[in-house]
A and B are shown apart, each in its own frame.
Chain A
Amino acid sequence: MRQRDKNLLDLEFIHTKMSLVFLQIARQCLKLCNSPDRTPEGVRAQMTHPDVYRIIHVSDDPLLLGNQQNEQRWRSAFENSAIGIMMADFTGRIFAANRAFCNLLGYTESELYKLTFLDVTYEEDRKTNLELVRELVEGRRQHFQFEKRYYRKSGAVFWARANVAVVPGTNEAAPFWFNVVEDITAHKEAEEALRKTEAELARFSRLTTMGKLAVSIAHEISQPLTAITNNSNACLRLLAHHNLQPDVLHRVLKEIVTEVTRASAIVARFRAVIMKEPTEKIELDINEVIEEVLALTSPELEEKRVLVELQLTKALPPVTGDRVQLQQVLLNLIVNSIEAMSRVAGRTRLLCVQSRMSETGKVMVAIRDSGPGLSSEADSVFAPFFTTKANGMGMGLSISRSLVEGLGGRIWVRPNFPRGAVFSFTLPIAVQRFA
């Protein structure tokens, strides 16, 4: 391959948009250098930007001699690019910036040339940015893409996607790197708004799930309270009529203690769920979370006469996640299964909860029910606002999916054999710490 072609190919290394610009530049240069009445020195004199040195080096080939007009076109392409482009030497000093880049940052060209790329980089992004550039300079990478924040001259901050590539040095020219900068502030803001909405929905769905549970807990706790109240009132009445026998009192007091213990256990169980701090990522035993959620849903399970079969693999490696989020995912899936099964009559309502290692080395949980199953709906169950319930909001599974994916896992549904549905999800195991 001839030197010229090789150098041209080198120009194609980056982001498509940039490549197009540069290929154009390269073509212009070739024409420029092809002009017979121009010496390489002459061409060099026309070019003020060091980035062109490389291309002039290409022009050492006697075939590559160009003319002045084309150089002018090349400059306009750079200047008129709608995307900000800047170039910096290996010390980080900016030595070229097009109009779009200047406008983006609010500096004039000459002001920018007094700065380094770090001066316009948001403080928190400097360390990572510097490290990436160092890798370029040291030849450990050719290019990188990095979402970072810039300071405008006014001090305002904006988000941008930086596409950076290195241009190696030659005998005549120092190496440098250049950066094609896209403003992605709007995109970032939309992303942030979406994340907030999702968090809000997750909280809301949690509240509705909790509300549903609160009703069943309220019923459950009212039972021991009723027993205690009845016993105490009966004793008071008997006492008023001097008719309370010590053995009766003894029996009643013992019953009261039992009922108080029962009530406290119910309260403790509910508190364990609602009092947790949101999103604290800790190492969790998934089996423990499963058992907590099953204890929580036991009134619902009893009422709907659902049989539970547990197939938990002992000593699974811990997963990293937020306890409340995992509880929420499990709650959603289990409550859904219960509700699906309560719609069928005449056969056993069996809920099977399984935990094991998946083939891909993740912790996997499967929840199978003997409900009516999902027919053509199976693909859309995770979509927001999808529901098969008369008063469902259709957010439960959608939120479960974003929670599982947020923890680095995956969630899916398959038909169960012979009937019903299996919802499964995986979670990556916590990173092992070596002593």
Chain B
Amino acid sequence: MSVQSVVFVVDDDPSVRSTLKFLLSSVGLLVESFDSADSFLQRNLPDVPSCLVLDVRLPGLSGLDFQRELAARNIHTPIIFLTGHGDIPMSVRAMKNGAVEFLTKPCRDQDLLDAIRIALELDRSQREAEKEITELRKCFESLTPRERDVTSMVVSGMLNKQIAVQLGNAENTVKVHRSRAMDKMHAQSLADLVRMIEKLTHFSDEK
């Protein structure tokens, strides 16, 4: 695990907070702790792989409401729930909303550490994917409207000739648009371009 990654602990009990910090630090994790959901939300989150270790029962915003609030704010930091009294509906709700793990206090330290490793890896790949998408979108946005039209037609499997007919252009013009688009998207091959556009469409669908 890279030193850069951060584990955020949110628990209203000071001794649980400090001992969790002690435990996680003992395996070399960087820990930041908060006594409530609100104080966490006031923190500007660093752009490093991170995860949240969250008590279900918090004063003010409860753990489960906090999870929903984060999703609403488009914060996708993976969450590990800790609870003193987990019941089934509660854990189902947490897991359905994308929690990584739902552990009952006091939990085995290995279970918690495993969950944290999974959560951090998830966040790392999430962040990488997001970075890639941002990059792709930037490239795509640099295309002229005509280049975008040509790109989407190419991706849908049309030949240059067919595109030329449809757009009322010369076939050569289409070829020029096409190669400019490939350059701007940094696509090595047609297959590469198809994959990129798929990712972009998939991501905006998800949104």
Contact = CB atoms under 8 A, between A and B. Distances in A.
A and B part of one assembly: yes
Interface in A79-109: none
B-side interface size class: 20 to 34
B65 interface: no
Contact of A223 (B13, B23, B25, B109): B13
Contact of A222 (B20, B22, B25, B84): B84
A220 B16 CA distance: 11
Interface in A250-282: 252, 255, 258-259
Interface of A: 215, 218-231, 233-235, 237-238, 252, 255, 258-259, 302-303, 305
Contact of B27 (A218, A226, A237, A259): A237
A230 B85 contact: no
A88 B23 CA distance: 89
A221 B84 contact: yes
B18 to A, nearest CB: 8
Contacts of B189: none
Contact of B19 (A215, A218, A234, A303): A234
B54 interface: no
A227 B84 contact: no
25 contacts: A215-B85, A218-B85, A219-B85, A222-B85, A222-B106, A223-B16, A223-B105, A226-B105, A227-B15, A227-B18, A227-B19, A229-B106, A229-B109, A230-B20, A230-B106, A230-B109, A231-B19, A235-B26, A237-B23, A237-B26, A237-B27, A238-B26, A252-B22, A258-B15, A305-B59
Contacts of A229: 106-107, 109
B106 A225 contact: yes
Contacts, number: 75
Contacts of A258: 15
Which of A219, A220, A230 has its CB near the most chain B CB atoms (within 10 A)? A230
* Interface SS majority for chain A: helix
A304 to B, nearest CB: 10
Contacts of A223: 13, 15-16, 84, 105
A259 B22 CA distance: 15
A255 B23 CA distance: 14
A215 B87 CA distance: 10
Which of B20, B26, B57, B82 has its CB near the most chain A CB atoms (within 10 A)? B26
Top 10 A-B pairs, shortest CB-CB distance: A219-B84, A222-B84, A230-B19, A222-B105, A229-B106, A233-B109, A234-B26, A234-B23, A227-B15, A226-B106
A232 to B, nearest CB: 9
B167 to A, nearest CB: 61
